[in-house]
Chain A
Amino acid sequence: MIKLENVNKYFGKNHVLKDVNLEVAEGEKLVIIGPSGSGKSTTVRCMNFLEVPTSGHVYIDGEELTTKNRVEMVRRTTSMVFQQFNLYPHKTVLQNLTLAPIKLQHKSREEAESLAYKYLDIVGLREKAEVYPSTLSGGQQQRVAIARALCSQTKIILFDEPTSALDPETIQEVLDVMIKLSQENITMVVVTHEMGFARQVADRVIFMDDGTIIEEGTPEHFFTNPTHERTKLFLSKIIR
């Protein structure tokens, strides 16, 4: 479904991704963990070309993603949920959900709205359809953002630290929605520090540090029997 081949990324002289190779299967739930600055966010951002790799190749469904085809391909294949939600503040919740389907997929307003209500039901926020995002709590905003991603009906959803900006008491409501989603045949790539979520949902966990993939495996392997010292150290710090 997604394939990164020898992907390198420099920010100026800073080498943030070092020859990353990674494949994600269709329907797979992949969790990427690692300390801040390890390149995990940059890795997912390369999957929809929010960051264009300095060198290397990105394939979605066997087709190479390039700066030429990225708008059309991203529209068709991937959606993203951000740490800061990034809802459109000048639009209501419903308009946030229907904007892309109407403007980009040329759905009728009725069609787009019934789709929006369907996904608002899934995230449990149907009654908030007519309000503006600024009136919602962080957890609610992120659930709306997830519904917005679902409205694009892409096979891939990328999550870039979706709970890192949330108050502790609202993290679970977002995780619950993501757990619900994980039962669907959606390919999910999730950058997170939520180890409980990783354990419950992930098919595979990747640990990154200093721009490279240090270790990968099933959650069981990861949390009971990690091989690398660096992984052990990280997990000992994050799991208290």
Chain B
Amino acid sequence: MSGNGPFALFRWEKLFESWDQFALGFLRTLEVAALALLLALAIGIVFGVLSTTKSRILQGIVRGYVEFFQNTPLLIQIFFYYNGLAMLGLVLGKFAIGVLGVGIYHGAYVTEVMRGGIDSIHKGQAEAAQSQGFTYVQTMRYIILPQTVKIVLPPLTNQAVNLIKNTSVLAMIAGADLMYAADSWASYTLNYGPAYVVAGVLYFILCFPLSTWARHYEERLKKQGVQKEVKEQKETNVEVAV
């Protein structure tokens, strides 16, 4: 911690003098992550529902979207929005690129999570709704999707964690996010050690509560499932006893 090492005390002092740069970056990361998450959820719900329709064309479109965005690096997608679209005459702001790029990329994963959630609901539910005269969209909205919430919440939270971390690719296009703030400050002052540690800690502060919550929620669901079974068992026993 002393002398001129990468983690020397004076380097930390320097960093805390420039804390506002990190705060701004942190704020930008939060904004991008929040909006990208909303976009990813919107895409995921719509495409997840479309992928469970009987239409082969819709299924194909969703399949193509998911495979394309899951199987190419996010960084290339970001570079495409930044450089590729600009060459085609469409110049997007870096903030917009962050939201769109990360949102569309994670939308593919959320689509898969939603599809799995919808598929896990017994088909009798959709049949009951159809027999009452609900349209497909109404069936999804009132009957199927509300039942998937419990199932998809843990994997969606994990997606949110990945999404937050992935906003750091914005640093590659000088996106003014936390990673960029840390990186540019580090290369300007040559205090790499503290800069990356502090950035890492800030990401951790965002992600750790989320992933912890998701794990607890999932465990609680499992326990509830077990308790319900036990209760049903007891009820059957009572009936037999009577």
A contacts with B, residue count (CB < 8 A): 28
Given known A-B contacts A82-B124, A82-B127, A137 and B134 have beta carbons under 8 A apart: no
Q: A82-B124, A88-B125, A90-B147 are in contact. Are A137 and B131 (CB under 8 A)?
A: no
- A8 at the binding interface (Cβ < 8 Å): no
Q: A88-B143, A90-B146, A103-B142 are in contact. Are A74 and B130 (CB under 8 A)?
A: yes
Beta-carbon contacts under 8 Å, B111-151 to A: 122, 124-125, 127-128, 130-135, 138, 142-143, 146-147
Would you give the shortest CB distance from A74 to chain B, in whole angstroms?
5
The contact string, 1 if C-beta is below 8 Å from chain A, for chain B 218-242, is: 0000000000100000010001000
User: In whole angstroms, what is the CA distance A71 to B130 when docked?
Assistant: 7
Q: List CB contacts (< 8 Å) of A97-137 with chain B.
A: 99-100, 103-104, 134, 137
- Most chain A CB within 10 A, of B128, B134, B142, B146, is at B128
Q: Is the CB of B239 within 8 A of A137?
A: yes
Does A182 sit at the interface, judged by CB under 8 A? no
Nearest residue in B to A136 (C-beta to C-beta)?
A: B235
Q: What's the Cα separation between A72 and B131 when bound, in Å?
A: 11
Determine which of B128, B138, B142, B146 lies in contact with A86 in the assembled complex, contact meaning CB atoms within 8 Å.
Answer: B128
Q: Tell me the minimal C-beta distance from B146 to chain A in angstroms.
A: 5
User: Inside 8 A of B130's CB, which chain A residues have their CB?
Assistant: 48, 50, 74
The listed residue with most A CB atoms (<10 A of its CB), out of B132, B134, B135, B138, is: B132
Q: Collect the chain A residues with CB atoms within 8 Å of residue B125's CB.
A: 86, 88
Asked if residues A103 and B134 are in contact (CB atoms below 8 Å), the reply is yes
User: Are A100 and B146 interface neighbours, CB within 8 A?
Assistant: no
Question: Would you list which residues of chain A between 203 and 217 have a CB under 8 Å from chain B?
Answer: none
Contact of A75 with B133 at beta-carbon distance under 8 Å, contacts A89-B147, A90-B147, A169-B239 already known: yes
A79 to B138, CA, bound (A): 17
- How many Å lie between the Cα of A71 and that of B139 in the bound state? 11
The reply to whether A137 and B235 form a contact with Cβ atoms under 8 Å apart is: yes
Interface of B (DSSP majority class): helix
Say yes or no for A199: interface residue by CB 8 A criterion. no
Which one of B131, B142, B146, B239 contacts A80 once the chains associate, using CB atoms below 8 Å? Answer: B131
Instruction: Using A99-B142, A134-B228 as known contacts, say yes or no to A86 and B124 having CB atoms under 8 A apart.
Output: yes
Give a binary string over A70-93; 1 marks a CB under 8 Å from any B CB, 0 the rest: 011011101110101011111000
Which one of A72, A84, A90 lies within 8 Å of B133 (CB-CB)? Answer: A72
CA distance A137 to B235 in the complex (A): 9
Flag if B134 contacts A104 (CB, 8 Å): yes
Give the nearest-CB partner of A77 in chain B. B133
Residues of B within 8 A of A104 (CB): 132-134, 138
In the assembled complex, which residues on chain B have CB atoms less than 8 Å from the CB atom of A50?
127, 130-131
- B128 (CB) vs chain A CBs: closest residue: A86
A76–B239 CB distance below 8 A: no
Q: Among A90, A152, A167, which residue has the most Cβ atoms of chain B within 10 A?
A: A90
Which of B134, B135, B228, B239 has the largest number of chain A CB atoms within 10 A? B134
Inside 8 A of A100's CB, which chain B residues have their CB?
Answer: 132-134
User: Smallest distance from the beta carbon of B117 to chain A beta carbons, Å?
Assistant: 13
Cα distance A113–B27 in the bound complex, in angstroms = 49
Report the bound CA distance from A60 to B139 in whole Å.
23
What are the residues of chain B within 8 A of A84 when measuring CB–CB? 122, 124
Which residues of A lie under 8 Å from residue B143 when comparing CB positions?
88
Q: Please give, as numbers and ranges, the residues of chain B lying within 8 Å of A99 by CB-CB distance.
A: 132, 142
In Å, the complex CA distance between A76 and B133 comes to 8
State A100–B143 Cα separation when bound (angstroms).
Answer: 11
- Please report the C-alpha to C-alpha distance between residue A104 and residue B131 in the assembled complex, in whole angstroms: 12
- List, in ascending order, chain B residues with CB within 8 A of A48's CB: 130-131
A134 to B124 Cα, complex, angstroms: 15
List 10 interface pairs A-B (beta carbons < 8 Å), by A numbering.
A50-B127, A78-B131, A84-B124, A86-B125, A86-B128, A88-B147, A90-B147, A148-B132, A167-B239, A169-B239
Q: A82-B124, A88-B147, A103-B138 are in contact. List 9 more A-B contacts (CB 8 A).
A: A50-B131, A71-B133, A74-B130, A84-B124, A89-B147, A99-B142, A104-B134, A137-B235, A158-B131
